[in-house]
């Protein structure tokens, strides 16, 4: 089976590292910073802090969708596993049947260890 090229894997690796950082607590650091800066004064509660709107990039929204699909601890374990598979050159292949996982699926769930078929058979939460 043909491995994914390093240049192909890199964006997924970056997504996984970002996700992992956020699950480990960087999320709350960002959230606290936003809350504390908007909490001063309190006279204009209707004003939307502009720096929060600035954070709303496409990737940011996509990441939130991913986080909602699974419990945080489970996701973190799967992210670690995916990063290990990247290092071992096995990323992009199903751990169950060794079949190739479509890139469209990896873009949605970059840490999934299973192809669509196996995920549904295993009743995998990431499906």
Instruction: State the residues that interact with Zn ion by CB under 5 A.
Output: 94, 96-97, 99, 115, 118
Distance CA 111, CA 63 (A): 12
Whose Cβ is closer to Zn ion: residue 86's or residue 94's? 94
Taking CA atoms, 45 is separated from 42, 48, 65, 77, 93, in Å, by 6, 8, 28, 39, 49
Sign of torsion over alpha carbons 100, 101, 107, 109: negative
Whose Cβ is closer to Zn ion: residue 81's or residue 99's? 99
- Shortest Cβ 113–Zn ion spacing (Å): 9
Q: Kindly report the backbone phi and psi dihedral angles of residue 88, in degrees, each rounded to the nearest multiple of 5, phi listed first.
A: -85, 0
- Shortest Cβ 124–Zn ion spacing (Å): 10
- Shortest Cβ 121–Zn ion spacing (Å): 8
Which structure tokens are listed for 68? 């909602």
- Shortest Cβ 95–Zn ion spacing (Å): 8
The residues, ordered by sequence, that sit 6+ positions from 90 with a Cβ below 8 Å of its Cβ are 3
Whose Cβ is closer to Zn ion: residue 86's or residue 119's? 119
Whose Cβ is closer to Zn ion: residue 49's or residue 89's? 89
């Amino acid at each position: 089976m043909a491995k994914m090229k390093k240049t192909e894997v890199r964006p997924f690796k970056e997504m996984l590292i970002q996700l992992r950082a956020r699950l480990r607590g960087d999320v709350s650091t960002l959230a606290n910073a936003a809350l504390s800066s908007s909490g001063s004064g309190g006279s204009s509660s209707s004003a939307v802090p502009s720096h929060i709107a600035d954070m709303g990039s496409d990737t940011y929204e996509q990441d939130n969708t991913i986080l909602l699909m699974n419990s945080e601890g489970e996701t973190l374990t799967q992210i670690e596993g995916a990063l290990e598979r990247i290092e071992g050159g096995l990323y992009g292949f199903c751990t169950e049947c060794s079949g190739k996982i479509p890139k469209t699926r990896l873009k949605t769930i970059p840490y999934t260890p299973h192809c669509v078929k196996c995920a549904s058979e295993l009743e995998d939460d990431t499906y």
